[in-house]
Amino acid sequence: MGVSVVMRVQIFNVEHGFCAYIIANNGNVILIDCGFNDTTGFRPSSYLPRNGCSGIEHLFVSNFDQDHIADLPRLRAALPITLFSRNRSLPPQALRQMKETQGPISRAMDSLLDMHEKWIYDEPNPPDFAGIEIQTFCNSYPTFTDTNNLSLVTFLRYDGLGILFPGDVERSGWLALLEDASFRTILRSTSFLVASHHGRQSGYCAEVFDYCTPYLVIVSDARKQFATQEQDYSRHAQGVPWEGGGTRYVLSTRRDGMITITKDVGASWHVTTG
């Protein structure tokens, strides 16, 4: 992977799913989830190697559901993965039992279960991400027994820019996380918020915005489920002046395609779409 002059975050259009590709200034790679797009055929397992990625230094799985891990088997075959983070409080056997009650285990879920069971040791020499700070939060099993509220919430901060990736956590899970003072502190430095649960009403929690006023909220989904989705979030965002006039408060992969955020040290961040 060639060295990039800026930190770059790409949130791909994977319809009802999620995948974010983060490249540090030193070229090291973070991938959050690995959904793919059935309509266009886009897969991170193909896109990343074609665009110079030779390995994933840190893979985060935010949610133990198919739409967040759909491309995992091909991804593991295409690229080496150094670190793997997820909510470790949920035992692999408990997760397997959850999934078996919903039907046959998919190839992607079987691949995830394999990683969840075997990747139990921390890397003694973790990769360097050139100033990107990473913090994760999650609710614990069996306090919560559903995969949405057991989402791994990941916060990335780089040179004053903070991005929160909450997976599919729902209102009850948000409220539990808000009891943690360190989580409330993190929220205060959120510049961009990815809407939980693809912007669905179940992932919206107004109390989050007592501590958080992002510039933009980003929705990753195939279609709008509720008329209130973008309205609820837009009233909490500061908004960004947009090319061609007007102000945008919410961006969505459905409407805007791939969303790219870039940031260089000492410079302003930039957001582009398409």
Q: What is the pLDDT of residues 143-171, one digit of tens each?
A: 999 999 999 999 999 999 999 999 999 99
Section 126-137 average pLDDT: 96
Taking the C-alpha atoms of residue 119 and residue 4, their distance in angstroms, rounded to an integer, is: 29
The pLDDT, as a whole number, for residue 244 is 85
Q: Are strands 161-165 and 192-194 parallel, antiparallel or unpaired?
A: parallel
Would the pLDDT of 1 be above 50? no
45 assigned to some structural domain: yes
Would the pLDDT of 188 be above 90? yes
Number of domains into which the chain is organized: 1
The pLDDT, as a whole number, for residue 228 is 61
Q: Helix, strand or coil for residue 272? A: strand
57 assigned to some structural domain: yes
Q: For residues 4 and 33, which has the higher predicted lDDT (pLDDT)?
A: 33
Q: For residues 1 and 129, which has the higher predicted lDDT (pLDDT)?
A: 129
Express as a percent the part of the chain with pLDDT over 70: 96
Task: Give the CATH number, domain containing residue 168.
Answer: 3.60.15.10
1 assigned to some structural domain: no
The predicted model scores a pTM of 0.96
Section 93-118 average pLDDT: 97
Section 69-89 average pLDDT: 98
- Residue span of the structural domain in which 207 resides: 7-273
The pLDDT, as a whole number, for residue 122 is 80
Taking the C-alpha atoms of residue 201 and residue 221, their distance in angstroms, rounded to an integer, is: 13
